[in-house]
Structure 1
């Protein structure tokens, strides 16, 4: 193989590796972080202590309670204020943390079963056990009309049947890509460096490309957050959704920073080793040749 062909092949391999690195990080995060029940529950559990999330849940629960009771118009505001304060206080109890974990685990299991099975029915979540736990707690706290909170057949729609086919295809792709893209990234990087005519330059290119891909991944996470918040209805808490988004993408942001650091370290190492090699070649230099001795002429 000629030197030009080796350089071209190395450039192609390293370019593919740099493209696969952020895509592999994203696919692995979706498969092994969001798709894994244990990791998902561990990630979302701290959200029960987030003030924005507690405020959003307290507001939504208060709205639900006020829709189920009938009070005089002049009493509606003070009753609502009392109910909201009681529900907000409930969100700071261990019982709320248990209810939060239970609801999150049930929702996640329902979605994952729908994505892995071929059932085309709408995915619903029965929150009656959680609602019953909330009602009993509020009743014990003497919250007015708490016993009227509906708990029988309390279901919410998680994924519509019309969206299941597309989501299932995307999830299957992520499952495959979550394993093979990281492996392909490593293989392509090693092959690109070995094929290269100048391996130091290949390592430099691989490091800079990895750092650039990691930076683009970080930008994509930030843009995704802004798009998610901008598309919310006006009655949805932006602070709560932002807290959920930041929590779910925390590992992905960490991976992007690690990839950025790894790429910069590789690039810096290639530059330093190249400079050291040049200095050694310069200090060695050619061996000086002694001048010839003058020829003596005999008289």
Structure 2
């Protein structure tokens, strides 16, 4: 195989490897990072103290309580106007989001929703995904009793199924999840194999290593750009602008591992490229030092007439 053909084949293999690398990193993050309940709950746990998330949770909690209050006060004689009750309910909900009990409910709710969606994706059943609120209510009730809130004894622990994902959405998500499970494993493997093959067939392997390293850094930079662009598009699609800070906090928490991987690829690629460049420079210096010195040419002599 000629040198030109080897270099062309090496360049094609390395370019394809660098192209697959960011897609493989994103697929692995989605298939093995987001799909892990423990990692998901750990990533979401700090958001219980985020001001934007607390405000969104207080709004949702206050709206739910007022809906129940309006239902129970409808038609009742001498009932207070809902407008007079709403500020107190909103303050109570806001105060609740600052307690340890809310953090317990937050973790329990995230774990329950994640487990329910993941089980539905893996067992192949049809129909909507629902979450039973009884375990979450039981944990909140236990936490309140531990804090000596005696009125918590009267909190009913009822089995209430709350829908979290429709049947059509589940079917679409299952197809994507199946693809991600395959791509999350094989794309990184394919990228590594192609990079090794490209370096192996190259006529100058040091140059091929430098090219692969720079391509890796470029792939990591493109992945950082994709995560940033994805954040803007996600927040732009939200119908309510008031919830964008909370959604941004959730997006940042979930994509933090992916951003770390992307920046690691940038740093690793640049470090390897710099190392290969320095190694080439030192090798050239050693060859020049080992080259025997040539004797100076004798001075020209004049012929005598």
Q: For the superposition of Structure 1 and Structure 2, which TM-score range results when normalised by the shorter chain?
A: 0.7 to 0.9
| CA pair 184-53 structure 1, distance change in 2 beyond 3 A | same
Residues 222-261 of structure 1: CA deviation (Å, up to 9, x unaligned) = 1111111111112651111111100000100000000000
- 1:164 equivalenced with 2:165 (yes/no): no
Residue 128 of structure 1 deviates from its aligned partner by 4.6
Of 195, 198, 206, the residue aligned with 1:200 is 206
- 1:37 equivalenced with 2:37 (yes/no): yes
| Pairs within 5 Å for 1:155-194 | 155-194=161-200
| Pairs within 5 Å for 1:1-299 | 1-70=1-70, 76-130=82-136, 154-234=160-240, 237-289=243-295
TM-score, scaled to structure 2: 0.84
| CA pair 38-165 structure 1, distance change in 2 beyond 3 A | same
| Deviation larger for 26-35 or 69-78 | 69-78
TM-score, scaled to structure 1: 0.86
Residues 91-115 of structure 1: CA deviation (Å, up to 9, x unaligned) = 2222212211111111111111111
Q: 5+ residue gaps in structure 2?
A: 301-305
Cα distance in structure 2, aligned partners of 1:272 and 1:187 = 25
Residues 145-167 of structure 1: CA deviation (Å, up to 9, x unaligned) = xx9x9985644332221123332
Q: Cα RMSD between the aligned structures?
A: 2.9
| CA pair 128-38 structure 1, distance change in 2 beyond 3 A | same
| Deviation larger for 189-198 or 207-216 | 189-198
| CA pair 247-191 structure 1, distance change in 2 beyond 3 A | same
Residue 212 of structure 1 deviates from its aligned partner by 0.8
Cα distance in structure 1, aligned partners of 2:207 and 2:84 = 72
| CA pair 133-269 structure 1, distance change in 2 beyond 3 A | closer
Tell me if the contact between 2:104 and 2:139 (Cα under 8 Å) persists in the aligned partners.
Answer: no
| CA pair 69-162 structure 1, distance change in 2 beyond 3 A | same
Cα distance in structure 2, aligned partners of 1:74 and 1:164 = 42
Residue 63 of structure 1 deviates from its aligned partner by 1.0
Residues 48-76 of structure 1: CA deviation (Å, up to 9, x unaligned) = 12121111111111111112224799854
Q: 5+ residue gaps in structure 1?
A: 295-299
Equivalent residue number for residue 303 of structure 2: none
Cα distance in structure 2, aligned partners of 1:150 and 1:237 = 31
| Deviation larger for 223-232 or 35-44 | 35-44
Residue 25 of structure 1 deviates from its aligned partner by 1.1
Cα distance in structure 2, aligned partners of 1:80 and 1:135 = 24
Cα distance in structure 2, aligned partners of 1:131 and 1:180 = 42
Q: How many correspondences in the alignment?
A: 289
Residue 278 of structure 1 deviates from its aligned partner by 2.5
